[in-house]
Structure 1
Amino acid sequence: MRDWSLAFIAALGSALMLAGALFFQYVIGLAPCELCIWQRWPHVVAFAIGLITFFFPQPGVMALGAMTMLVSAGLGIYHTGVERAWWQGPTTCSGTGDISSMNAEDLLNHIMAAPVVRCTDVAWEMFGLSMASWNAIISLALAAIWVVALRRS
């Protein structure tokens, strides 16, 4: 395979991950939480890097592709930990935070500003793994493809 072909396969994997996320959101009707949205951005960047690599198959560009997938895997692991209550997630989407000092008006504003989907809720799972867990696993596999492309360049 040529230098760019493996990078293109990795970028295509990111595009498929994005398509899957959008399918679950718009066809199945599973609204994403804030962390779910965060996990999409590295795939957008990796897809763009894959397109750049098609025209400029440089090692540095391929290394960026691998790093973006490692960021995606890290976000997936973080989100999985939030879902499984291993650690606390962002207060903006986990339903946590200190409300004891709020007056009634501030409390109502806090409730009304809260996202509909909490990051602690698992909307879908397969084989006991949530979408966040699958994102982490697949992102690690895509990072490995980027690394192989980098080593072959």
Structure 2
Amino acid sequence: MKLARLLALLIPATLLAGAWAFQLIGHLVPCEMCHWQRWPLYAALVPAILAFAPGLRPPVIRLLIALAALGIIASGVIGFYHMGVEYKWWLGPTHCTSQGLPHGGDILKALLAQPLVLCDKPQWTLFGISLAGFNALISIPGGLLTLFLAAKGRS
């Protein structure tokens, strides 16, 4: 269970560190959906840290790891949804996408009401994969692996 416990802590911590690095060092401003992806990772850190508390019985450790893994997977699912919005596979929330802009009427008023960063425009990509896509590619398999390892009790 040592590996599962380590993954439960390192995956959300690393993803959040990367997100904050892109924001603070790379000067990328996160959109609303980017923030949505962070919340389950913050939540996953709590049981992941608690799983390292001394004196815990293995069933409690497994439960804490499973809770962390579910938070990691949730972040990945939101990341996949966000990636789909960016790639125009499906429509996203109109309040944070370019779909919310009217074609007529008071365009200036609508533009001023829009967030500074639109959710359907990736700010950064590598090999055609956005940050939301990388979150999905890391979080979903990583969370599933963590859950599997915790269930099997492997170290």
Above 0.5 in TM-score?
A: yes
Structure 2 residue identity aligned to 1:112: L
Q: Number of aligned pairs?
A: 148
Are 1:77 and 1:133, in contact at CA under 8 Å, matched by a contact in 2?
A: yes
1:82 to 85, 107, 114: 85
Q: Is contact 2:101-2:111 (8 Å) kept?
A: no
Question: Which consecutive residues of structure 1, in runs of 5 or more, have no partner in the other structure?
Answer: none
Gap regions ≥5 residues in structure 2: none
Query: What SS does structure 1 have at the residue aligned with 2:52?
Result: helix
Matches within 5 A, 1:39-58: 39-55=37-53, 56=56, 57=58, 58=60
Distance (Å, rounded) in 1 between the aligned partners of 2:98 and 2:77: 22
Pair 1:150-2:151 in alignment: yes
Asked if 1:25 is matched to 2:23, the reply is yes
Taking the aligned partners of 2:44 and 2:122, their CA distance within structure 1 comes to 25
> What percent of counterpart residues are identical?
36
How far off is 1:132 after superposition?
0.5
Deviates more, 1:86-95 or 1:50-59: 50-59
Asked if 1 retains the 8 angstrom alpha-carbon contact of 2:8 and 2:69, the reply is no
Query: What are the residue-to-residue correspondences of 1:4-153 with 2, within 5 Å?
Result: 4-55=2-53, 56=56, 57=58, 58=60, 59-97=62-100, 99=102, 104=106, 108-143=108-143, 144-152=145-153
TM-score in terms of structure 2 length: 0.84
Deviation of residue 147 (structure 1)? 2.7
TM-score, with structure 1 as normaliser: 0.85
State the shift of 1:91 in Å.
1.2
Counterpart residue type for residue 125 of structure 2: E
1:100 Cα deviation from its structure 2 partner: 7.5
RMSD, aligned CA: 2.2
Determine the C-alpha separation between the residues in 2 that align with 1:138 and 1:100: 38
